[in-house]
Chain A
Amino acid sequence: MVFTTAINFVRARGPDEFWRKRKIFKLSAHFVGRKRNCYSIAIRYVHRALAYATKGRKLRKIDMANLWETRVRAGCEQHNINYDTFREGLVRSDILLNRKTLADLSCWEPYTFKSLTDIAKRRALDDGLAGISSDNKLDGIITKGCLNRNK
């Protein structure tokens, strides 16, 4: 349910019953059955719908974050790197991209995403993070971690 106006914030205590009820009926317009047209039933379901909408605003953000993470994990797996190592490698290379951006890249820009995984792998190797094995394809990449490489 999307509310584009501040209609819900107005306290409907007007003297005119018609307009007071009309406000509720506008919110119940898409319901099915008597909860759409009978006021005493509609008001209960509108209250419930508004409570769901309040919860949904938070849940939507959590759901999207989970979906992005699933997609980035899938992308990481294609390039043989662990998700946690990947994020740590990026942070250490000062590439501060959020889950949404990474998910979009893994989906729409697979080559860009591959370059990111390569950088993260190189950095993880240079910093000696666990769970990554050496690969000579990564030799051409230079990160700030190279300074630690031969110590």
Chain B
Amino acid sequence: MSALKRVQQWATFARVWHIYDASWQNPFKSAELLKKYLMGLHKPIYHPMNDCGDHVIVINSGDIALPGDEWKRRVYFHHTGYPGGATWTLAWELHSKDPTMVLRKAVYNSMDGNLQRRYTMERLHLFPDANVPTNLLKNVSNQIQQLKAKPKRLDHYSENQVKQFPKIFDYPKDYILK
């Protein structure tokens, strides 16, 4: 094998590190996206028995946005194995206990249950905020595009920008704003 071919093979099978900013993202749709990188589905060399998945670092998983009123509707079931050991935890409760768990479970459940799933999950590194250890961060060579751009809040615009924004009409003086 020539030196070129050898390097080519290293480059093909090397694990790439991706970073993903989960702030204001739907965790269940993000899971479908992250799964692709974790399992290596984005590579033309993919095969279920070919261990070609990449690492993904997810930051700001504390700032995920669940659709609709799912924070209080979605329930996570756990059973300790003992009689009466079943617990049902609401999404907002789980999130206040561990801000990475909702996204971790979303990714875990998006994959098929086989022997590879637990090892694939090992390649997912979740952080509730933007504090990532430097030894992980220095591996990163690609950023995964967010599903949706993070919207900017009204109070984050400067007062001047808000004033200059084109208005269609002025409210009448006696109109009571809710």
A-B contact count (CB 8 A): 25
- B contact residues around A103 at 8 Å (CB): 44
Distance of A77 from chain B, by nearest CB (Å): 6
**Chain A proximity mask over B34-73: 1 for CB below 8 Å, otherwise 0:** 0000000111111110000000000000000000000000
Chain A 45-82 residues near chain B, CB threshold 8 A: 67, 70-75, 77-78
Docked Cα-Cα span, A70 to B41, in Å, equals: 7
Closest to B42 in A: A74
Complexed CA–CA distance, A78 and B41 (Å): 12
Q: Is the interface of B mostly helix, strand, loop or mixed?
A: loop
Q: 9 extra interchain contacts, Cβ-Cβ under 8 A, other than A74-B41, A74-B44, A110-B44?
A: A67-B48, A70-B46, A72-B44, A73-B41, A74-B42, A74-B46, A77-B42, A107-B44, A107-B45
Q: Does A106 contact B (CB under 8 A)?
A: yes
For the complex, count residues of B whose C-beta is within 8 A of A: 8
Q: Decide if B47 touches A106 in the complex (CB within 8 Å).
A: no
List B contacts of A110 (CB < 8 A).
Answer: 44
Q: Which residues of B contact A106 (CB under 8 A)?
A: 44
A67-B47 in contact (CB<8A): yes
A71 and B47 alpha carbons, distance in the complex (Å): 9
* Closest beta carbon of chain B to A72's beta carbon, Å: 8
CB-defined A-B contacts under 8 Å, sample of 25? A67-B46, A67-B47, A67-B48, A70-B41, A70-B46, A71-B44, A71-B45, A71-B46, A72-B44, A73-B41, A74-B41, A74-B42, A74-B43, A74-B44, A74-B46, A75-B44, A77-B42, A78-B42, A78-B44, A103-B44, A106-B44, A107-B44, A107-B45, A110-B44, A113-B44
> A25-63: which have CB < 8 Å to B?
none
